[in-house]
Chains A and B, each alone.
Chain A
């Protein structure tokens, strides 16, 4: 907070222009500093050229701002053809007078030698001419490193770069300058020159992480203006280009709606104090076979029967299996899907990276526009990524659900059959609005099922541990377990009433205690 204040007090004047690159305007808190020069540094293959090109393309498409591409490396013809694969028709932009190339690629048509003093004013004059010709607001220079091969003296080049930089500032354009690093650990620029001319530095990385390539972007500095700190993952999407996923940058809001919706089970609604909140996120935790998928089925089926649009992301079972399960509990998912009230998306968690899972879920939600979404199960996703990555994914999903105001249901599988909590729970219990535990209860040589509403943010709820049974009609919630304690800890024992009251505080273990201090 202190830092925010300082930043805005010191330089109130720096404005930003939206890049139009998905996610970037969020992490940069508004886009590129207007009229400034931003250095975009990264190793070979870190997508510098794609990022920079997209800055121009989106400028034209979304904001009607023409752009200049100064190429030091490749001939314009090659750039045009490379970018077609991303769906960017540069030739068309050129025809419409929204785009101009300045070809500063190495001269290879004949011999070229150097003798005596020179300056880069030829380049400056051409850039100025191009800017004037199309009325450009945005300029990309890609990549400056190549200049060092063409002109030998780095000292002289440094002076000349200052001249180019100040010329561009005078022309009032916003510029991205790309520069190549040797590796992710080395200096930001190979020649240690470019960073002196740029007020702003952005780094692109392409690293290996658990057998998968992982791309990320980090804003290292924005002189005199605020930005989000840290690395943010991005992927390259067909027809879109760079898509940044603003994991962990989003501020988590709590459920704000007072509207209640049914969980699909009347008795469970009653335990929750009259239903779930319409924009809340609920976590269902339980061992395998305790009834998590049934809870999901009720939640989606209950919504779909009322004419809501419900979306399921299933990472553990096939569509056929899900439909079969549903019909054994009295829900005709096939019919509901046919009528458009339900959509089931099945995927293997291992198939794609974390970022692609997120984008996939987001895309499906954009296309289907559901009011209810369930993910069965989060644990399946957790297996294929690090704790940190998983937590970021859940936060991002949760934020996304809340942005759209949809009700979300996650399931999490406990490793032990009785009792126990999951790593998933420990990681994300504070993120979710409600937690419902499903547990096996062993009594006198018999396995029975228990259910309790552990947390219900913003509402009174029933705190009993109720027994439930499952049959062809679904879930039937019955009476609380009497004279039994230690259910959630996994070792129930019969007690008399007096003892039970004394033990109630410790009944829920660590999770319960933390939950109480949270709320």
Chain B
């Protein structure tokens, strides 16, 4: 599955505890064309943040509606950054990676990675 390979792209390899870790949950629907876009765009964002410090979980709302219920997801795609705090939610296919990074608190100059 493309989703799963994509999902693993951010998995940690180093285990370096000195680095901040990013934990993401991305809610999508397999049947919706926005899913592929959002996953691709999240990949780009993780590249910029540093692949080794991003944990990404991709959840299909139809396969796991109970998870969507707990996270109160209405729109898909919804990206939830649960770590580090504060929790931030981003709705949409994440096409504007600059806006996403700014929302996470990174200015254009001071990008990590």
Contacts and interface: CB of A to CB of B under 8 A. Distances in A.
A122 B96 contact: no
A122 B75 contact: yes
Interface in B20-63: 27, 29, 31-32, 34, 37-38, 41, 61-62
Nearest to B78: A122
Contacts of B61: 121-122, 125-126
Nearest to A150: B74
A121 B76 CA distance: 6
A102 B41 CA distance: 29
A186 to B, nearest CB: 27
Contact of A118 (B31, B76, B100): B76
A175 B41 CA distance: 37
Interface in B69-107: 69, 72-78, 86-96, 99-100, 103
A120 B89 contact: no
Interface stretch (A38-46, A107-115, A425-433): A107-115
B68 A116 contact: no
B103 A123 contact: no
**Contact-residue bracket for chain B:** 35 or more
B44 to A, nearest CB: 13
Interface string A86-116: 0000000000000000111101011111111
Contacts of A151: 75, 91
A117 B87 contact: no
Given A107-B89, A111-B88, A113-B91, A118 B75 contact: yes
A119 B32 contact: yes
B74 A120 contact: yes
Interface of A: 102-105, 107, 109-123, 125-126, 128-130, 150-151
Interface of B: 27, 29, 31-32, 34, 37-38, 41, 61-62, 65-66, 68-69, 72-78, 86-96, 99-100, 103
Given A115-B96, A121-B76, A129-B68, 6 more contacts: A114-B92, A116-B34, A116-B95, A116-B96, A119-B32, A129-B65
